[in-house]
Amino acid sequence: MSAIPKEEYLFKCTSACAGCSSSLCLRYVLKAAGPDTILVVPACCTSVIQGMYPGTAMNVPVYNIAFGAAAACASGLSNAFEARGEKTNVIVYAGDGGTGDIGIQALSGALERGTNFLYICYDNEAYGNTGMQRSGSTPLGARTTTTPGGKPTVKKDLDRIVEAHNPPYMATACSAYPLDLYKKVKKALSIEGPKFIHILAPCPPGWRYPAEKTVEMGKLAVKTGTWILYEREFGKLTINGPSKTAMKKPVPLEDYVRGQGRFKNVSPEIFDMMRQQVEQNIQRLSREEAGVC
Amino acid sequence: MLTIATGNKAVADAVKAAKPGVIAAYPITPQTEIVEQIAEYVTDGELASKYVPVESEHSAMAACIGASAGGVRTFTATSSHGLLYMHEMVHWAAGARLPIVMANVNRALGPGWNTWAEHTDAFSQRDTGWLQVFVSTVQEAYDATLMAFKIAEDERVLLPVMVNLDGFALSHITQSLATVEPGDFLPPYRLPHAIDTENPCVYGPMTGPNDYFRFRWDIERSMRDAKGVIADVEREFAERFGRSYGPTEDYRCEDADVIVIAMGTLGKEAEVAVDRLREEGIKAGSMRLRWFRPFPDLNLAGKEVVVIDRDYSFGFGGVVAHSVRSKTGVEPYSVIAGLGGQEVTYDDIAGFVRDRHPGKEMWFGVSDHV
């Protein structure tokens, strides 16, 4: 951790919920990016976290934009800075709804155009800002305010959608592994072109677990193999340390699911499907890393 | 330089002269020719702009917002459904006080699919905070686009400007065009509130009722100031390049008993109708409405008025007719004509004047006076 700079770009006056892991991630993202950075934020929890006009909890410029528009707005910004002959980090920091649902067209367009920017999706697996409605990223069986009986469909595989665009760098990360995230942001920003990092960001009110367990929840996601940490550099997959260990001998999925109110009363059939999905993902990525696919 | 061009080519040539930092656009009929022509200029090295070929109009305006906030001069073009698709971002651009210039080639809205001229697309953006000008010739499309940058970027305005030209009736017709070397008429531009990492600020965060209300008032104050800025810029343009414009283009209005008010190409057609009517002894005049926002002050005292609307607000009436009535107290004869590109000749316009019924509304070719 000593490699991480002491400078703070996210002050201690945010309006985040207790135990908010996405604001924790934002703190490390900005430490990695440094002061010559512009953050583009669509409607999401970060719209609230940064505070209310005229105050701000942010020590870098933040451009707030409408829900579906972040990647396109960043594309314009990135081009404006190139037109000005200046080199500045343009980073989108968007939730899962603004990325995988309403924002996916703009994200796809920006990736396809080769926009020089870093797109970060912090994924709390629901529309947290508006009160925990289901998003395309909500996993199978999770109860949200619009899926009170549990989501009947599986989580949209955003990473495979992004991967299909062949960006030079993409990675997954998790709020419980900040050093891993820090390094990935550093590496992403050293590469020209479109970069994408998908962070799993557990959410105490949305997932219905006690705020103090937010790091533990992230670790369990990785240790159970529910969330796999990897990087894909110019198409080549590398599974990162914590997931390598987890994928050999995953912690039982029950340990992750049991602690979350959103999975309360999940039927044995749904739980079985959840377990099969985790196994399939582990196998798919293991095969790919071994060059067998 | 004197040349022959379509309305679309004229807009592209004006954009080339304005040298924007970023152009973001999505092709949609009938504006496609504008973005094709600009792409050619950029590819051939005649225009050193960043050209961002986006995947939708929502993204086109979002990219323009990012680029303009990044401090550079910014342009896009759209039409019809494209404009409606970017509606959310059209509001955002004005609210964020960004001097983006957009050409909108006026076209009807589906269903059914109709690519021909109508002003409903632009009027659907009436309350977004954009300035809107409607042009009637290829030359005016060029001149208005150049002036739009200067008006939008004036610190008393800092609002986006939409240059409207009729689909096909102007976008695809050819007329002579005199292009200019703008020189310092349009100096290199940097937005005063451009994003600056040396001075980090948040843009568009959560805003409470009091501050939000003040921001809205600031937009209205700038919209009012824009009238003076438009006059200044149009005066400077006339002095430099010899072509003058105003909030309206008045033709034989001084001694007229009856005045035709229309916008775009129909407004130009009305001038021919006026000549025809004068030959018959009817003292007619034409007042072509150029600026729709800010809405000009019209002096119609003692005149009869015939308003031609190439638009309609369902359950209410012609938008221009009602605007004229509410601003002047004059009860016009409201003619709804030219929807979906319906042909309206100067003979037809002369007929509207001859057969006028003040206070009544008539849908040309469809209904009698009601």
On the question of a cis peptide bond just before residue B111, with omega within 30 degrees of 0, the verdict is: yes
Beta carbon pairs, A and B, within 8 Å: 166
A109 and B55 within 8 Å at the Cβ level: the answer is yes
Per-residue pLDDT averaged across B183-210, rounded? 95
Look at residue A293 and tell me whether its pLDDT is greater than 90. Answer: no
What letter represents residue B73's amino acid? R
Contact between residue B103 and residue B146 where contact means Cβ atoms under 8 Å apart: no
Measure in Å the smallest separation between the Cα of B62 and chain A Cα atoms.
Answer: 5
- Collect all residues of chain B within an 8 Å Cβ-Cβ radius of residue A69: 58-59, 62, 65, 88-89, 92
Q: A155-179: per-residue pLDDT in tens?
A: 999 999 999 999 999 999 999 999 9
Domain spanning B248-363, CATH class: alpha beta
Query: A83: nearest CA in chain B?
Result: B21
Interface test with A, best of B61, B197, B211 (most A CBs within 10 A): B197
Q: A67-106: per-residue pLDDT in tens?
A: 999 999 999 999 999 999 999 999 999 999 999 999 999 9
Residue A199's SS3 state is strand
- Residue range(s) occupied by CATH 3.40.50.970 in chain B: 2-241
- CA distances (Å), origin A170, targets A22, A164, A174, A199: 19, 11, 14, 11
pLDDT of residue A2: 67
Pairing of strands A62-64, B50-53: unpaired
Closest CA to A26 of A142, A199, A193: A199
Radius of gyration of chain B (CA): 20
- Collect all residues of chain B within an 8 Å Cβ-Cβ radius of residue A40: 66
- Collect all residues of chain A within an 8 Å Cβ-Cβ radius of residue B52: 75-76, 79, 113
Look at residue B1 and tell me whether its pLDDT is greater than 70. Answer: yes
Classified by CATH at the fold level, domain B2-241 comes out as Rossmann fold (3.40.50)
Pairing of strands B258-262, B304-309: parallel
**This prediction's pTM:** 0.97
Interface test with A, best of B51, B64, B198, B202 (most A CBs within 10 A): B202
- Residue range(s) occupied by CATH 3.40.50.920 in chain B: 248-363
- CA distances (Å), origin B182, targets A80, B40, B143: 22, 21, 10
Q: What is the distance between the alpha carbons of residues B44 and B32, in angstroms, rounded to a whole number?
A: 18
Q: A228-256: per-residue pLDDT in tens?
A: 999 999 999 999 999 999 999 999 999 99
CATH superfamily, domain at A21-290: Thiamin diphosphate (ThDP)-binding fold, Pyr/PP domains (3.40.50.970)
Q: A263-278: per-residue pLDDT in tens?
A: 999 999 999 999 999 9
Q: What is the distance between the alpha carbons of residues B178 and B350, in angstroms, rounded to a whole number?
A: 31
- What is the Cβ-side half-sphere exposure of residue B263, based on CA atoms within 13 angstroms? 33
Q: What is the distance between the alpha carbons of residues B106 and B311, in angstroms, rounded to a whole number?
A: 11
Tokens of B131: 């300035």
Interface test with A, best of B19, B59, B90 (most A CBs within 10 A): B59
B95 close to A (CB below 8 A): no
Q: B286-342: per-residue pLDDT in tens?
A: 999 999 999 999 999 999 999 999 999 999 999 999 999 999 999 999 999 999 999
The predicted complex's ipTM stands at: 0.96
Angle at A125 between CA A119 and CA A127, to 5 degrees: 85
Q: B71-96: per-residue pLDDT in tens?
A: 999 999 999 999 999 999 999 999 99
